[in-house]
Amino acid sequence: MAITDRSDTPDSDIDLTPVDVAGIVSHVRDTYNSGRTRPIEWREEQLDGLVRMLKLESPRLEAALAADMGKPALEGFTTDVGFIATEISAIRKHVAKWAKPRKVRLPMSAMPGKGYIVPEPLGVALVIAPWNYPINLLLLPMAAAIAAGNAVIAKPSELAGETSKALAELIPRYVDPEAIAVIEGDVAVATDLLEQRFDHIFYTGSTDVGRIVATAAARFLTPVTLELGGKSPVLVDDSANIEVTGRRLAWGKWLNAGQTCVAPDYVLVTEKTRDALVDSMRTAFDEFSDGNGTQDNPDFTSIVNERHTTRLQGLLTGHGGTVAVGGESDLDAKHVDPTIIVDPDADSPLMRQEIFGPILPVITVESMHEAVEFVNDREKPLALYVFAEDDEKADELIANTTSGGACVNHVIQHLVPADLPFGGVGESGTGRYHGQSGFDTFSNLRSVLKKPTKMDLKMLYPPYTAKKEKMIRRFI
């Protein structure tokens, strides 16, 4: 089954020379079957290698991100290099503990005996990463898979061609290349990969491609983790701190030019609060750009390619709303201004498609009750954001909606704590990772019950006398 991505032809000169995908996968599997990846020491060495690579090669990786997307060096370091090094270091610190058998308390009916859960590696994991955070979303799942003792095939996105090339060259220098392979390529290579048998597939990207990945995995009953997207709503209560809310929402659309799976996708707010919120976001965008706009601004990321720029330009027309901020774009520069559109038509493409860009619709509702209904009438989002100074109202809004993750009084920040599992629900994905949840995702949590032979309760065996039945019914 052919795989397609959020874009077609990459805006890079990535080498698309045919790759022996089956041969590479077979070699990596032979390495896994040798038992090489199971020792904790091997896992720790690979994690150390990834951290070392991120620290030593940071300038090259940041330069690659800038070449692919015009990403500011600080933003590239924060979202794709430094933050990842910190989390992988945390995984390395805990991997030995996570890999130990976990004792389980047994009920009286299972005594005497001992019960425990043994985390064991699944085998060979495939990690397919997207272009928007091409280092982050490749290395973090890889680190989780390695920590669990798996061998890994990593497929970076060809749409971030310079970053893909850098990762393909650097990763084998810092980790075991016999057990961890990076395969570059286009859609044909991704399709070929999905024809192979893996023990786990981790895919980050669009919902449409997620369905293709799940279908391909079903052929071998391969478990999948799908980190997808969708339209992540923001509910702004009248009690919200509007100045801070506007600044944080503006930042959520400024970061990576809105090309983030958990970026705020639309805002629900009452008429009482709407205009002040729009003014606050306008002020924040102006402050972020130092009053000079975002065209040619070194602190504002480009759109990944011309196709996506054209797609976003299409969303800027025919929406039926009012452009309150921004609205300008430049195809040649792959640039779209941070834009706020008030009350677009609910059936417009702007409100039906995941925006994945610096455009933010603001929808007027009569109450937060109507806002909750609006959210619940649509597919379950990857993230949901609530802004409210009233804690009870915030808790109520969280309790009456559902999403993969949620954040109160900020956006995107719920991805930062490693102990908060990250993932989607329904159309926005399946499975969790970050911290121990990632380790567990790539592990077979094997249940083991150990029974002694010194005490063999004959009441369990036939013939089932009335006395045995009375005792068994009493204790079970």
Mean pLDDT of 64-72: 96
Round to whole Å and give the CA distance between 431 and 228. Answer: 10
Mean pLDDT of 17-30: 92
Lowest-pLDDT choice from 26-30, 34-38, 107-111: 107-111
Give the pLDDT band (50/70/90) at residue 476: confident
**Nearest C-alpha neighbor of 407 from the set 234, 283, 253:** 234
Give the pTM.
Answer: 0.93
Do residues 156 and 68 touch, judged by C-beta distance below 8 A? no
What pLDDT does residue 455 have? 83
Task: Please report, for the chain, the start and end positions of each structural domain, with discontinuous segments joined by +.
Answer: 21-228+426-448, 233-415
Q: What would the pLDDT profile of 269-305 be if each residue is shown by its tens digit?
A: 999 999 999 999 999 999 999 999 999 899 999 999 9
Mean pLDDT of 374-400: 97
Stretch (H or E) spanning 200? strand 200-204
Round to whole Å and give the CA distance between 443 and 148. Answer: 6
What pLDDT does residue 108 have? 85
Question: In sequence order, what E strands does 344-389 have?
Answer: 359-365, 383-387
CA atoms within 13 Å, Cβ hemisphere of 410: 5
Round to whole Å and give the CA distance between 8 and 447. Answer: 45
Round to whole Å and give the CA distance between 186 and 339. Answer: 32
Give the pLDDT band (50/70/90) at residue 458: confident
Q: Which amino acid is at 431?
A: G
Do residues 376 and 395 touch, judged by C-beta distance below 8 A? no
For the cut 90, the answer to whether the pLDDT of residue 472 exceeds it is no
For the cut 90, the answer to whether the pLDDT of residue 13 exceeds it is no
Of 75, 87, 227, 354, which is the active-site residue? 227
The question of whether 178 is a catalytic residue gets the answer: no
CATH class of 21-228+426-448: alpha beta
**Nearest C-alpha neighbor of 429 from the set 380, 357, 386:** 380
Do residues 131 and 304 touch, judged by C-beta distance below 8 A? yes
Give the pLDDT band (50/70/90) at residue 16: low
CA torsion angle 74 183 41 29 (round to 10)? 160
What φ, ψ does residue 117 adopt, rounded to 5°?
Answer: -110, 130
The question of whether 261 is a catalytic residue gets the answer: yes
Of 184, 261, 354, 407, which is the active-site residue? 261
Q: What would the pLDDT profile of 226-247 be if each residue is shown by its tens digit?
A: 999 899 999 999 999 999 999 9
We find that the CATH architecture of domain 233-415 is 3-Layer(aba) Sandwich (3.40)
What pLDDT does residue 246 have? 98
Average model confidence (pLDDT) across the chain: 94
Distance of CA 176 to the CA centre of its chain: 25
